[in-house]
Amino acid sequence: MASAGKSDSGTPPPTELAAPASTPLAEAFVKIDPEEFARLEAEELARSEAKEEERIALEHKTQVERNAQAERQAVERAWREQEEYARGVAELKKKIARRESRRAPAIAAAVLLGAVALGALLYNHTLTQDRATKAEALRIAAESLERQEEERRAKLAADASGKDAAVTPKVESSAEPAEDPADRARAEAYSENAAKKAAADKAKALALKIEQEARRMAEVAAKKQAEAMAQAEERARAQAAARVKEAPRAVQRPGTVFQDCPDCPRMVVIPAGEFTMGSPASEAGRGVDEGPQRQVSIAQPFALGRSEVTVAEFRRFADESGYRTEAERDARAQGCSGFIYADPAAGIPGAQPVTSWRSPGLTQADSHPVLCVSWNDARAYAQWLSKKTGERYRLPTEAEWEYAARAGSVAARYWGDDPVQACRFANVADQSRFQTWGFGQKHECTDGHYFTAPAGGYSPNRFGLYDMLGNVWEWTEDCWNASYAGAPADGTAWLTGDCAQRVGRGGSWSTVPRFARSASRNKNTADHRDNLTGFRLARTLE
């Protein structure tokens, strides 16, 4: 306890200073201060980094040298192959020709031929390599030519010495004094240097020529390729244009009947043409909304349904798409207006429920035109069919409809003016009808059907269209206008005016002569449905 108290007095025990000094390691720690240590550490790090950089640089240099070596070897190999090729050609020529005078040009030609090929190689090579490689190629070419030149000289010398030995063996031992060997060596050295320089110049010139030739050949090849591509493109364009010309001719031949799918409605191609739309003031039963008469031009052929869309066709739409008509969606008890009056003479009972196309208040077969569909429902069907087929189905415009119904006729009906002839061409309010609701006289003929008739059951008009009059009223695309003043003259739909109401055309199974005319018009709101109204499709021909 006493020593502890002494310690507390401020005098440190002697061991605290003496102990560090007693070991060299501890002394070193004491002498190196932290800053010095950091500096040494940084130096060491810099040294190791420098070493690493040096190593990377060395590796890089080695790789570069390796690449250069490979390039040199490739060029040398190519040149050697070329030499061998030239030599082989020369040998072959020798054997065939056996004529000294023709040998040299033949060899030269072979060398040039091969050189052009090599030049192409060199040219391609130089496109991607640097100038050093190009210089190297020139050097190798020069060396090669030099070697050839030496070989040639050696051969000539050998030939000459052989000839000399054979013909004039005594020349060397003649009395004339021999040349000074030193002069001769100098002359030979001079001659050799001159030959080397000439060979090098020749090699450079040859390499330049090769390069130029290769470039020219590459340009010619590129030009030829561009021409071939342009020609191929032109041919493809011509073929495509021919197809475009052919296709519409085949598809747009007037009267052609086609289907875009096995279950799709049959369509008829209607020709382009002009007609007078509306009725003359003299036409019996004419309405004021049918004028003024005007010229309409249909510029393009189009397709129109051969008959009205049938119950079967509409059912397919409803089943496949799940679409519910406006009548079916209507919360009212009666979604579709019915025009059924009791007709005891015809065995027609009193009021039947009229709810939708599924139950239109009268008996229908699948082949009959669908009823109780609104303008909106009809357009939904056209959109669905367009999506299904990839073609552009739509409702006909009012002008298209009248143009197609008339089929060139200017009479009140496409069969003429006489309503009594109707029963050959249409299912209308005929003699079987008891009730005409005060609209006037029924058709004085018998068409065989009180209500709807199977689609396409009567004679067609001159365009091959069925039931353009009678059976069911047909929706068109146009907005309602009470006069044709200001209507488009190009057959397009008139989309201004009273667009809440859309135009219906053609009359129905219940229509009297007054309305069963090509020019007769009707209107209803776009959501209206009744059991007199259906529709017919149009399709744009591309």
We find the least distance from the C-beta atom of residue 280 to Ca ion, in angstroms, to be 27
Nearer to Ca ion, 138 or 340 (CB): 340
The residue whose two tokens read 């709807």 is 452
Dihedral of the alpha carbons of 306, 310, 313, 318, in degrees to the nearest 10: 140
Residue 351's contacts (CB-CB under 8 Å, 6 or more residues apart) are 338, 340, 342
Q: Which of 430, 477, 478, 530 binds Ca ion (CB under 5 A)?
A: 430
What angle, rounded to 10 degrees, do the helices at 131-167 and 181-251 form? Answer: 130
Residue 385: which of 266, 499, 494, 532 has the closest Cα?
A: 266
Give the helix/strand (H/E) hosting 25: helix 24-31
We find the least distance from the C-beta atom of residue 510 to Ca ion, in angstroms, to be 8
Q: Which of 286, 394, 406, 449 binds Ca ion (CB under 5 A)?
A: 449
Give the helix/strand (H/E) hosting 294: strand 294-298
Cα diameter, the chain: 159
Binding residues with Ca ion: total (CB under 5 A): 4
We find the least distance from the C-beta atom of residue 370 to Ca ion, in angstroms, to be 17
> Measuring CA to CA, how many Å separate 79 from each of 87, 111, 115?
12, 11, 9
Using the contact rule CB under 5 A, the part of the chain among 50-58, 198-206, 243-251, 448-456 near Ca ion is 448-456
Euclidean distance between CA atoms 266 and 59, whole angstroms: 80
Nearer to Ca ion, 79 or 425 (CB): 425
Q: Which of 283, 308, 377, 447 binds Ca ion (CB under 5 A)?
A: 447
Using the contact rule CB under 5 A, the part of the chain among 15-23, 134-142, 236-244, 443-451 near Ca ion is 443-451
**Cα angle, residue 117 at apex, residues 112 and 122 outer, rounded to 5°:** 110
Using the contact rule CB under 5 A, the part of the chain among 93-101, 341-349, 361-369, 424-432 near Ca ion is 424-432
Q: Which of 144, 310, 427, 452 binds Ca ion (CB under 5 A)?
A: 427
We find the least distance from the C-beta atom of residue 337 to Ca ion, in angstroms, to be 19
Nearer to Ca ion, 362 or 404 (CB): 362
We find the least distance from the C-beta atom of residue 467 to Ca ion, in angstroms, to be 11
Q: Which of residues 109-128 bind Ca ion (CB under 5 A)?
A: none
Euclidean distance between CA atoms 8 and 277, whole angstroms: 128
Nearer to Ca ion, 291 or 369 (CB): 369
Using the contact rule CB under 5 A, the part of the chain among 114-122, 196-204, 295-303, 447-455 near Ca ion is 447-455
Nearer to Ca ion, 491 or 513 (CB): 513
Using the contact rule CB under 5 A, the part of the chain among 99-107, 423-431, 491-499, 510-518 near Ca ion is 423-431
Euclidean distance between CA atoms 454 and 368, whole angstroms: 4
Binding residues for Ca ion (CB under 5 A): 427, 430, 447, 449
